Amino acid sequence: MGWALALHGGAGDIKRSERTEAVESVLLECLSLGVAELESGRCALDVVELVVRALENNEMFNAGKGSVLTAEGTVEMEASIMDGATGDCGAVSGLTTVVNPISLARLVMEKTPHILLAFDGAEAFARQQGVETADPGYFVTERNIQRLRQTKETQTVQIDYSVPSEAGETVGCVAVDCHGKCAAATSTGGMVNKMAGRIGDTPVIGAGTYANGVCAVSTTGKGESIMRGMVAADVAARMKYKALKLSEAAGSVVKELEAGTTGLVAVSAKGEIAMDFNTTGMFRASADHTGHLEVGVW
């Protein structure tokens, strides 16, 4: 079987600027990283974690180092990962010091009997596992301080690109390896000016992230809408129970949702790729074993 890979950096009302070109360049670098690993025979689960880690480490995105701020001026990060071959999954939420939330999510999957750990319990688990942490100030960027100030002035809660933006947001990656095994991973800082304690779709298995023996899906957009529709699992269900192709399943799910709320990337066990959105644009990139390579926004 041939491998395939897709990743996203957020969907919404994206405006053209030099910064969007910079985001596209980072997506291409992360795509190339994943391609090299898949070509070397690395499994899909390892690849999606590796790619999302790279995205978390770049403050252009609303994940990891670039996470947006809550109404209290703090960072509360969340992430999830799922192995389609086994159905195993792990998720974290409410993180304030963990440099790479996606790797902690994988440790939850592999080292605990649970799926989701949050807030103080998740932080304690991170210390127990010896993962890299940083002072909370490491995650507070000047750009996100300005964004929080703007949303407070307008008394709004800003989802990814709810106002015209040129930078990346929530990140995710899906892959199928040469053995036909699928995996998905997603990471985010959530909404600007969100209430402290708010949990979005990203750590909810079936909403923001899902993988099985048929496909793998990672979503981005308005978390509350994505959770109501259980978007990632819905794509998989339409393939499994309605025998739809990946493009048909992903396209129909996104089309039926409220406009301006959702984007997703997906791959099938057969090596198909789908990147659908009902917003102005979505930062996205994909590649497969045939030589296909795409990086796009609108």
What percent of the chain is predicted at pLDDT more than 90? 87
Average pLDDT (38-63) is 97
Average pLDDT (134-139) is 94
Residues sharing a CB contact under 8 Å with residue 17, sequence separation 6 or more, in sequence order: 166
> Which fold is adopted by the domain 4-289?
Glutamine Phosphoribosylpyrophosphate, subunit 1, domain 1 (3.60.20)
Does 221 show up as a binding residue in the annotation?
A: yes
Does 201 show up as a binding residue in the annotation?
A: yes
Model pLDDT, residue 168: 55
Whole-structure pTM value: 0.94
Residues sharing a CB contact under 8 Å with residue 87, sequence separation 6 or more, in sequence order: 212
Model pLDDT, residue 15: 81
Q: What tens digit of pLDDT does each residue of 176-229 get?
A: 999 999 999 999 999 999 999 999 999 999 999 999 999 999 999 999 999 999
Average pLDDT (123-141) is 96
The two tokens of residue 279 are: 């917003």
The catalytic position among 170, 186, 209, 219 is 170
Model pLDDT, residue 213: 97
> DSSP 3-state assignment of 249?
helix
Model pLDDT, residue 161: 43
Listed by start position, the domains of the chain span 4-289
Dihedral-angle region of residue 101 (phi above 0 means left; psi in -120 to 50 means alpha; beta otherwise): alpha
Does 168 show up as a binding residue in the annotation?
A: no
Is the Cβ–Cβ distance between 286 and 294 less than 8 Å?
yes
Cα–Cα distance for residue pair 91/111, rounded to 1 Å: 12
The two tokens of residue 127 are: 């210390």
Evaluate the CA torsion angle 100, 250, 82, 30 in order and state its sign.
Answer: negative
pLDDT band at 158 (very low <50, low <70, confident <90, very high): low
Does 199 show up as a binding residue in the annotation?
A: yes
Does 223 show up as a binding residue in the annotation?
A: yes
Model pLDDT, residue 160: 46
Is the Cβ–Cβ distance between 94 and 70 less than 8 Å?
no
219 in catalytic set: no
